[in-house]
Structure 1
Amino acid sequence: MIVTLIVICEVGFWVLLAAGLALRYLLKMPRAGAALLLCEPLLELVLLIATAIDLKSGAEPDWKHGLAALYIGYTVGHGHRTIKWLDGHAAHRLAGGPRPAKPPRYGVARAKHEGRIWLGTLIGAVVTTVLLQIAIWSVGDTDRTDSLQSWMYTAWRAAGIHGLIALTYLIWPKKEKQREYESVHVER
């Protein structure tokens, strides 16, 4: 049931996002579109409540509950940035808005950009850890919660790897290639 609910929440995220952007830009109903976009967190709340009820009703804590916590953590860490990015592109393509700025490609600006994205992963790992720790306390039997603890390590492993990758942009910043401009004269 939990895995099905995770899939439903993921599909629901994209359906709500598409519907919200369509209302906002295609049907020229910006308030209704914004209201629909603000409903996105309700999906994670439904998943959180369903997972808590499943554990409270005596279900064996396993990978499904850990995956639900990781999904919620990732959505909290990266959901807003994803929606904002897609909103900018929808405004450009559907409403004639300005083209969204591309992320910086070089130097310290790129390192800062990667650092901000990594902060989303870090927030996701913190949220995942908090949710899993609450689940472990609610189960109350540490012998049965090894699976949940392993998901904590998974979240922090992902944050660590992402952090190392982001750090490489600071340590070895990509430099813009020097271009040689030659004037070409065409004679007729």
Structure 2
Amino acid sequence: MLRFFDVLFAATGLLIGLPVLLLVALAGYLDTGSPLFRQERVGYRGQPFVLIKFRTMKCDTAWVASHLVDASSITRLGHFLRRTKLDELPQLWNVLKGDMSLVGPRPCLYTQYELIKERTQRGVYNARPGITGLAQLNAVDMSTPRLLAEMDQRMLATLAVPTYFRYLFLTLLGRGSGDSVIL
């Protein structure tokens, strides 16, 4: 049932959001010359997939977890995109393709060994990764792997249609945050 809502909302979001997507892509092109950011992440059952986002950092920024990146790497447009969460819009394509869900654990990099270990022990990879979830709504990011994996496990154990909609609603209201960066 949740997959049905994922497809419905992702397709609707892409159609309605098309003008915004095009405007942000143009602004991103002017900002960095490369508006889309693609990166291999750990997906459902530990399988790799390519996550798509709007670029918020300079093109030469190291490919490491966000909490390990210096804040000076974020562009002026990137600050705006992160604050408004518009950088996440292209992930609706990942949802539509089945790589992700709207609600689920945020996908990590294959280099985040401690988080992968913690999530594997807790069965987190038996669900699709998501754009938002319990950890994001409570400002728990990938800098605390054990806590994040515990929160992901708790979310997945209680995920049902009402909690799915609650997480989406709270996210749309602007609650929560993305991964932090070094200030």
Give the number of the structure whose residues are more often strand, by fraction. 2
Larger radius of gyration: 1
Give the number of the structure whose residues are more often helix, by fraction. 1
So what's the TM-score if we normalise by structure 1? 0.25
So what's the TM-score if we normalise by structure 2? 0.26
